A = this chain, B = another copy of it.
Amino acid sequence: MAALPRMMELPELDALVRRALVRAGMAEAHAGHVARGIVACERDGARSHGLLRLPGFVHSLQIGWADGRAEPVCTCETESQLRFDARNGFAQVVLAQARARLVEKARRNGVATLLSGNSHHFAALWPDIEDFAAEGLVAFACVNSKKRMAAWGGGRPVLGTNAMAFAAPRPDGPPLVWDQSSSVLSQGDVLLAAKEGREVAPGIGCDAQGRPTTSPEAILGGGALLPFAGPKGASLAVMVEVLAAALTGGPFGFEDRSPAGGATTSLGGQFLLVVDPGVGGSDFAGRMQALTAALLEAGAERMPGDRRYAARRRALAEGVALDVGPLEMLITLAGG
């Protein structure tokens, strides 16, 4: 009989994740920022980016691939832009340092951008931006990641499954927030199919010769994931490489030098745009309400984020249910 899942309150989960990161070499102050994203995903039922990612963070720290003690440096500041070199540390640490100044700039000028280079990101992107929307701001973010995806008819991996995320406030509900990768299917889902001996659907990947395949092993073994909507998804992923890597000075997806074997965090960059609708604008809240109402009226099943918010309400009241596997992993990494 399989052991039953254990319910865990969020503060306890947060403390354990922090402890695991600190044990792996991360500075106390930084661990809080990274743990926050992992716990937020677990809380919101977005498990693919929750505890499942913790071993990757820990491994990257332990082997010295990522620097958990690096202090980000602000290399350039203007009225509306902040540039940071994360110095091989984490994007979340940069954001925590830059956040207040970024908001201040957006409030004053209507728009502000944060360019973060040489930063690791291995988490969901929405936790980075949801809070801006909760303060009435509109936010867009993107990160590039290690190469796994082909582009524009090519058959070899060259781009990351580069994620984009967007958040906007709603007066009558939690923020409208979406977060999506540039590939049809995530690497994680292909790994899962391989583990379970399943084929994947056509259009998801190609083999090492660039030929279409439904074999997860062929995709993972020298093949590539494919962008969603063919050239359109590739265009977006290339834009992310330009904004998050070319502009920030972080490595491109194809410049990945991560050690083989074992999941590691992606070293790249992050681009973040914040807009204050109140600077020169009027009734943004009313406009967002009208947009949401129209989408639902036209048959949209839900707003993006709604499923996460429902899971969040449950988790805040009852904690999260951890299966034995993740629980044991967490306790082991946290040092018992």
- Residues of A at the B interface (CB closer than 8 Å) are 75-76, 78-81, 83, 108-113, 115, 138, 140, 150-158, 166, 168, 176, 178, 180, 184, 210, 228-229, 231-236, 238-239, 241-243, 245-249, 252, 254-255, 273, 275, 277, 279-282, 284, 287-288, 290-291, 294-295, 297-304
Q: Once the chains are docked, how many angstroms separate the CA of A248 from the CA of B283?
A: 11
Q: Once the chains are docked, how many angstroms separate the CA of A120 from the CA of B155?
A: 40
Q: Chain A: interface secondary structure?
A: mixed
Q: Determine whether the beta carbon of B254 is less than 8 Å from that of A158.
A: no
Q: Determine whether the beta carbon of B299 is less than 8 Å from that of A153.
A: yes
Q: Determine whether the beta carbon of A158 is less than 8 Å from that of B304.
A: no
Q: Determine whether the beta carbon of A235 is less than 8 Å from that of B180.
A: yes
Q: Determine whether the beta carbon of A298 is less than 8 Å from that of B150.
A: yes
Q: Once the chains are docked, how many angstroms separate the CA of A300 from the CA of B287?
A: 41
Q: Once the chains are docked, how many angstroms separate the CA of A290 from the CA of B233?
A: 20
A75 nearest in chain B by CB position:
B280
Q: Determine whether the beta carbon of B231 is less than 8 Å from that of A228.
A: no
Q: List 16 A-B contacts (CB under 8 A).
A: A80-B80, A80-B112, A81-B110, A111-B273, A150-B298, A152-B295, A153-B300, A156-B298, A158-B294, A158-B298, A168-B242, A232-B233, A243-B275, A249-B281, A252-B287, A254-B294
A276 nearest in chain B by CB position:
B81
